[in-house]
Structures are given as structure tokens and as C-alpha cells.
Structure 1
Amino acid sequence: MKLIDLHCHILPGVDDGSKDMQMSLDLARAAVDQGITNSLVTPHHMDGEYTNHKQDVIRKTDEFQQALDKEGIPLTVFASQEVHLTGELMNAIAQNDVLFMDETNRYLLLELPHSGVPEYTADMIFDLTTRGITPVIAHPERNHGFQENPDKIYDFVRMGCLTQLTSSSYLGVFGKHVQELTENIIKANLGFVFSSDAHNFKGRRYLMKEAFEKLKKEEGVRKAELFNLNARSVINGEDVENVSFIKISSLSKKRKKFWLF
């Protein structure tokens, strides 16, 4: 299966991911070994620590692609950003300083603070969706607010969001609790794509192939194909396939009924 990675930090020297070009090239080789052919490079933007302006990311991505081509590494990279939820977001979009996940400016990789879900999140999502922008919430399974109340994910998907799950979360790299939440997000049809969120060769490494193998085994080939198709649809600015989804709390109720009877 040829894979598309919508979220990684392998652009050299821009954030807490790859530190230099050599590391980026090595990470790119690891991506190719996983079956990844196309990848968004998504440095942090406006998260309070890193600011990676649109034109800088485009320039550095072009330089990275030239280095990949020179080394004969068959990976095509596209400039994007992991955009932090901030009160300045709409202004940054208006000033054309935000990169989307596709050329039509439809899909936006949106990161919430790890500590929780700010009260203004729903208002911001409403503002984005009314402008024709679909927020793709990055790694909700690692957000403390969603961990405490997983049904908030349902609320945001119902508002028009998609979610991007981290492949390593599904495999237990961030602990059993995160793994179980990732599994439940998938079972509730609230997960849409896997991405690597690769930063390095240790904990934040490429595990896309392994995640898809697990997904095929536990949820079926069709689900794995759908996740991959959704990634292709996002990067092309196309519709993702409609699926019915439920609250995660409904999963536990179903399990209780099964054991009671």
C-alpha cells in the first residue's frame, strides 16, 4: 500500500523535529521504507514557541525537495503547517500567512493545546467552517481535554471537523491510555486518517506501516483503505467519504449491554 503522510516534522532546523538536512534525509529514507510516497511537511506555527511563516516554509520545502531529488530519495514533499489554535488564527489567515493541507485552502491542520480544549474552540471552528475551511484536528487522542471527555471529539466532528490520529498512538508509544482512546476513536468512526507526526528516530518515529497493518487486522481491510483514501482526498482538496459516527461513550454502553445479557 502506497501511503500519504499528512503530518510530520522532518523539515530541517525549523522546530522540535529534524535538526539538520542530514537528519531530514535520513528520516525521508525511513518514510520511503514505510511505503510513504508523498508527505506534507508541517512545522509548528504560532504555538508560542515556533513561528514558521508561510513563505519561509515554502522556500525551505523547495530546498528540501531539491536535496531529496539530488540524493535519489523518491519522496515528494509539500509545504504545510501544524497551525496552533490561537486568537490570532483568523488574522493570520486573512494576512495569507497560513498554509493549508491542500492547494484549494480547504483543509487546515489544527493543533489544540495539549493541556486541554479552550472554551473558544467551538467558536473558532464555527468561524473556520463558515468560511469553507475544514479543520483537521491533529492528534486528539493526546489532548488532555479529549482524554477527560472523549465525546468532545464527536461534537467537533459533528460541526464539520476531521481528525488526524498519530500512528504511534495506535501502537502504544504514548502509553496504554492513549492507545485505548485511539482505538475507541476509530471504532466510533471519529478517526479519518493516520499520520506519522515523525520528529526523530526514537519515540517520535515513523510507524505508519505498522499502524495500517494493525488497522487491517482489527478493523478490516476496508477501514485501512478508507484511511488511506481519506489522506489522498485531503491532500487533493476533495471530499472525504461520508461515514456514520457515534459518541465514544456509546461504545462502553454497548459493551456493558453485551456483558449483561
Structure 2
Amino acid sequence: MIFQLSCEGITPVIAHPERNAQIIAEPQRLYKFVDDGGLAQVTATSLVGAFGEQVQRTAKEFVKCGLVQVVASDAHTLKNRGFAMTKAYQVLNEMDSRYPERFATNARNLLNGDKIKARRIEVPRKQRKHWLS
């Protein structure tokens, strides 16, 4: 499917992979998706911990591994979801001072239909009890 979409000039973007049970169980699925040319979008509230510590760790691990390229609010018409973009960019900055500019540029390029600069991606590391630390 990714190949077919890319032939049409469309880059697929998977939303909030850090909350997807199949991807959490098998993170190599996300690695393959991104390696094949797809993009992934992490939810701002996941980065700041609103969905719990495990989702936050997963989101951060995906960022560190280069498996997500943009951050989004996911605040669409849901009364109980906060916007959290400012806090998410603060978390990104705490992780690496280069992340905020990279993620902002990626979001702008995605919206404008421009290329997103690829960075090296890694398979997330596994852990004994939970697959992410």
C-alpha cells in the first residue's frame, strides 16, 4: 500500500503509533513503515504524559529512534483533550535542543507538500518486562 501511495505522490502518515497496541507489541512494524517511506505523528499529550507513563516512554523512544517526524495536538472536537503543543515542544527540547526546530520544520513541510528531511532511524530497544524503558 505504501508503494502504491508513493507512486501517486502521496506519503502516508500514521497517527499516534505510541498508542497503537499492535505497534507497541511489535515496534518493528513502525520501523518498517517508516523505512518504507511512511511518516508517523506523535500526539502532544502522549509526550507530556497525559496517557500514562508507558505511552510517554513509548512516544519518547519513537522520537529518539527517528520513527516519528511530527507532533500533533489530537485535540479534535474532544472536550477532555488538551492542546498541549507548547508543553510537548518543551519535552522535545528537554530531550534534544534540536528537536523543536526539526519537528516544526517537518510539520510545515508536510502541510506545504514539501519533502521531509529523513534522518537515520533505529529499531526501538526492547526490555525484559516492558519493551520500552
Q: Which residue of 2 is the match for residue 174 of structure 1? A: 51
Q: Given residue 38 of structure 2, which amino acid in structure 1 is its aligned partner?
A: C
The one of 16, 37, 40 aligned to 1:139: 16
State the Cα distance separating 1:200 from its structure 2 match: 3.3
Q: Given residue 107 of structure 2, which amino acid in structure 1 is its aligned partner?
A: A
Matched, 1:226 2:102: yes
Q: Which residue of 2 is the match for residue 247 of structure 1? A: 123
The one of 150, 165, 173 aligned to 2:27: 150
Q: Which has the higher contact order (CA 8 A, sep 6+)?
A: 2
Distance 2:53 2:20 in 1: 14
What is the CA deviation profile of residues 61-89 of structure 1, one whole-angstrom value per residue up to 9, with x for unaligned ones?
Answer: xxxxxxxxxxxxxxxxxxxxxxxxxxxxx
Q: What is the 5 A alignment of 1:36-47?
A: none
Q: Which runs of 5+ in 1 are unaligned?
A: 1-123, 253-261
State the Cα distance separating 1:191 from its structure 2 match: 1.1
Distance 2:74 2:6 in 1: 24
Report the TM-score, using the length of structure 1 for normalisation: 0.46
Distance 2:6 2:33 in 1: 11
Distance 2:31 2:87 in 1: 26
State the Cα distance separating 1:160 from its structure 2 match: 0.5
Distance 2:22 2:117 in 1: 27
Q: Given residue 78 of structure 2, which amino acid in structure 1 is its aligned partner?
A: N
Q: Which runs of 5+ in 2 are unaligned?
A: 128-133
Identity value in percent: 38
Q: What SS does the corresponding residue of 1:165 show, helix, strand or coil?
A: strand
Q: Given residue 47 of structure 2, which amino acid in structure 1 is its aligned partner?
A: Y
Q: Which residue of 2 is the match for residue 200 of structure 1? A: 78
The number of residues matched between the two structures is 126
Q: Which has the higher strand share?
A: 1
State the Cα distance separating 1:201 from its structure 2 match: 4.3
CA-based RMSD of the aligned residues comes to 1.4
The one of 90, 96, 113 aligned to 1:237: 113
The one of 27, 35, 38 aligned to 1:161: 38
Of the two, which has the highest radius of gyration? 1
